Structure 1
Amino acid sequence: MNTIVPFISKRSFTILVIFFMIGTSILITPNALAQNAKQDAWVACIMGVCVDLLLVWLYVWLGRRHPDRTIVGCCEELLGPWVGKIPGLLFALFCYFLAALMVGDLGYFCTTQTMVDTPIEILQLLFVLTVVIAVLSGVGAYVRAADIFFPWFLLLLVLLVAALAPKFEIGRLQPVMETGIGSLAKGAFSFFSLQELVVLMMVYPYVRRGKGRGRAFLTGAMIGGLVLVVTTVGSIGVLDSIQVANNQFPTYIMAKNISIGNFMQRMEGLLMLIWVLSIFMKVTVTFHASVLGMAQLFRVEERALVWPLAIGLVVIALMCYTNVVYVQNFLATLWTPFASLFIIVLPLLLLAASLIKEQVGPVKSKRRRRVET
């Protein structure tokens, strides 16, 4: 396996993590949280962010032990060149399926909320084309794009929050903790599975090593989590828990309520731009992770896999979004346990294998010395 040369700065990686953390979550997370925790959705969101930070700490620990290996590379190194290919391939397919779902999210949102007369296939093909161009340009290209987009992203976010402030009513967040710890835990459990930060372990080896590498990962997750908490609090405070729970895209509905005087209204375009920027970065990283993982497993060039897999993204997205109710039920009931296999179980398995291998190695060397003497 070729050695990966790290070249992404820690600041750039932090920005990439922020974009990835927000991703599709800025639109759909408040709805899922409100269904479980009602007006306490923001509390469940904070709990979910704390779980995300614990998982990032786990990923950083694994990355520190194997700094030049992606998670697919760790599977082969720690579990063996043959046995390790199975979880490695499953992880690459998980990334691929996740990228296809997000392409489906984009197509469904645009054709139901903004461009209702545009064929969903055209929107998805155009979006996948931009993702392909980014992936073919390489990690460095889309990381630099994230650096360029980030100041504008922050500016749009600040404008959106400032415009919504006059409509915010803190009473809609009360009573606090009324739903009980069970509902909060259920909401937090569904929340962290929508972040899928483990995918960034395919990019982590490209980050320059040294002090602050893990801190960059944690900082990005904290800032991204803060944005999602603010979004959830704003959705409940501007609308209410019932409207948030009944609307699939409550933050978009929230942005439609903006009215400052008679000249600043209907600023949902700002939210849509924020979402398109973040989902573009997340789909690009996730699709590249699947391509990179399969290229490492099958020892082929990445470029040879990009176009065939890109066409499959649109096909899978169209297959998955034939029925919106089915997709919502899948995300609400099956996605969290399914995603947890790769978000929690696989990293823990690899970390355990790494620790065991570290302990067994010295024992074997001692036995070898005794036999030689």
Structure 2
Amino acid sequence: MTRASHLKRDILLAALGGGILLSMLELVSLMVFGPILTQHGFYISYSLAQKINIGNFFERIEALMAISWLISTYFKSILYMFGFVLGIAQLFELKGYKPLILPSALLMFASAVLIGPNIVFYTNTVMPAWLDWNVTVSLIIPLFLLLVHRLRFQRKKQSAKRLTS
């Protein structure tokens, strides 16, 4: 059995699990804070973690949440950087991608400092355009790529049909 035999199923299950967890977080947030604060709060899950108090013993969970955010952001950044480095190596038809790792890491670090110097800049600049960016990257571009794939597949199918007849 190959590693890729259950890849589609595993990706769909992971997406379903993530969607269920996000829906539960939104539901709990709506029940605790209400719709206005949930809609306008920047880090509403962090605020929820501050409210947890079980028997005056199990509290201050927000530190664990902050640590999990840092770890997940690190791994997400590493995956993005790996995709960038691998894509650049394939684009320029290089033999390997390893010589690009250090320059890409330095470029990523410098651009992070330049793009988002502080939270005020982020709030005033990024937040108003976030919905448009999210819809474009999450919906329009994948649908466009799916359409291009479908058109290429149909064209390839038609050319193969012409060759056989």
Q: Which amino acid aligns with 1:267?
A: I
Q: CA deviation at 1:297?
A: 0.7
| Cα root mean square deviation, aligned | 2.8
Ranges in structure 2 where 5+ consecutive residues have no aligned partner: none
Show the counterpart of 2:11.
217
Q: Which amino acid aligns with 1:215?
A: R
Show the counterpart of 2:130.
335
Larger relative contact order (CA 8 Å, sep ≥ 6): 1
CA deviation map 1:119-170 (0-9, x unaligned): xxxxxxxxxxxxxxxxxxxxxxxxxxxxxxxxxxxxxxxxxxxxxxxxxxxx
Alignment of 1:1-373 (within 5 A): 208-210=3-5, 212-300=6-94, 301-364=96-159
Q: Distance in 2 between matches of 1:367 and 1:236?
A: 58
Count of aligned residue pairs for this structure pair: 163
Q: Which amino acid aligns with 1:348?
A: L
Ranges in structure 1 where 5+ consecutive residues have no aligned partner: 1-6, 8-207
TM-score by length of 2: 0.78
Change (3 A) 1:329 1:225: farther
Of residues 356-365 and 308-317 in structure 1, the stretch that sits farther from structure 2 once superposed is 356-365
Secondary structure of the equivalent of 2:117? coil
Q: Distance in 1 between matches of 2:143 and 2:36?
A: 38
Secondary structure of the equivalent of 1:299? coil
Q: Distance in 2 between matches of 1:345 and 1:246?
A: 25
Q: Distance in 2 between matches of 1:261 and 1:341?
A: 46
Change (3 A) 1:296 1:324: same
Q: Distance in 2 between matches of 1:312 and 1:326?
A: 20
Q: Distance in 1 between matches of 2:88 and 2:124?
A: 30
